């Protein structure tokens, strides 16, 4: 794993390996020990599960590593603290998160495993965004009235008849026969209009 020269120097100054420093940092910010170990020591992922766990527990039980974890927890806690209340913190949306992940992934060395993982996270996040967008589209509901007097066509015709005063309003029971009678005229008008 290649890290910045700053982290490499920091590990050297503390007298630990870069992987140990990464492992301790990840644990100090809340990563689960299994995930943190897999990230810090990717070469161990080829081991069987029992050996992987044994190596992880051996590292975690080491007194020097425990001291390193305590020190990193203290340092990282002070970095993560902020003044004020939670309203001072501005949350970023999924789109902004995806952009940040993409930016970081592009800066990583090509053909590195970490770069591939970052692109996979980016793809997962954008796929989730697409699914949420599809779910959020408004559904247009069509319904038929339960009772004839609620028919929008009848209501529209009767409103028209009231405005013209020359037409007589229809009763709900008459609507069916009017539609049947008007169907040939509607079809003829559609043909003329070309629809």
Alpha-carbon gap, residue 11 to 8, rounded angstroms: 5
Per-residue confidence at 87, pLDDT binned at 50, 70, 90?
low
Quote the number of domains for the chain.
3
Is residue 153 located within the same domain as residue 117? no
pLDDT tens-digit map of 131-180: 665 556 666 666 666 677 777 778 888 888 888 876 788 788 887 787 78
| Predicted pLDDT of residue 19 | 87
pTM: 0.41
Is residue 152 located within the same domain as residue 177? yes
Q: Which of 120, 140, 160 is the last residue of a domain?
A: 140
Is residue 2 located within the same domain as residue 77? yes
Q: Do the beta carbons of residue 195 and residue 189 sit within 8 Å?
A: no
Q: In terms of DSSP H, where are the helices of the chain?
A: 5-14, 18-28, 33-40, 49-61, 63-80, 94-107, 113-136, 152-164, 175-193
Is residue 122 located within the same domain as residue 179? no
What's the domain range around 181? 148-193
Is residue 73 located within the same domain as residue 95? no
Q: Do the beta carbons of residue 167 and residue 160 sit within 8 Å?
A: yes
What proportion of the chain, given as a percentage, has pLDDT over 90?
A: 1
Is residue 111 located within the same domain as residue 167? no
Is residue 76 located within the same domain as residue 99? no
Higher per-residue confidence, 5 vs 86: 5
Q: Do the beta carbons of residue 23 and residue 37 sit within 8 Å?
A: yes
Asked if the model's pLDDT at residue 74 lies above 60, the reply is yes
| Predicted pLDDT of residue 116 | 84
């Amino acid at each position: 794993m290649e890290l910045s020269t700053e982290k490499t120097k920091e590990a050297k100054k503390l007298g630990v390996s870069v992987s140990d420093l990464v492992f301790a940092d990840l644990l100090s910010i809340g990563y689960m020990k299994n995930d943190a170990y897999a990230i810090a020591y990717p070469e161990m992922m080829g081991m069987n599960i029992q050996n992987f766990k044994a190596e992880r527990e051996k590292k975690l039980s080491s007194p020097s590593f425990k001291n390193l974890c305590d020190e990193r927890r203290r340092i990282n806690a002070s970095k993560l603290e902020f003044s004020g209340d939670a309203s001072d913190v501005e949350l970023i949306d999924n789109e902004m998160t995806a952009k940040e992940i993409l930016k970081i992934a592009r800066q990583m060395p090509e053909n590195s495993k970490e770069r591939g993982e970052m692109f996979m996270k980016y793809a997962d996040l954008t796929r989730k965004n697409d699914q949420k967008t599809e779910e959020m589209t408004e559904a247009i509901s069509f319904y038929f009235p339960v009772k004839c007097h609620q028919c929008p066509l009848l209501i529209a015709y009767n409103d028209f008849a009231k405005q013209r005063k020359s037409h007589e309003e229809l009763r709900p029971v008459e609507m069916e026969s009017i539609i049947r009678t008007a169907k040939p005229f509607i079809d003829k008008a559609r043909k003329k209009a070309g629809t």
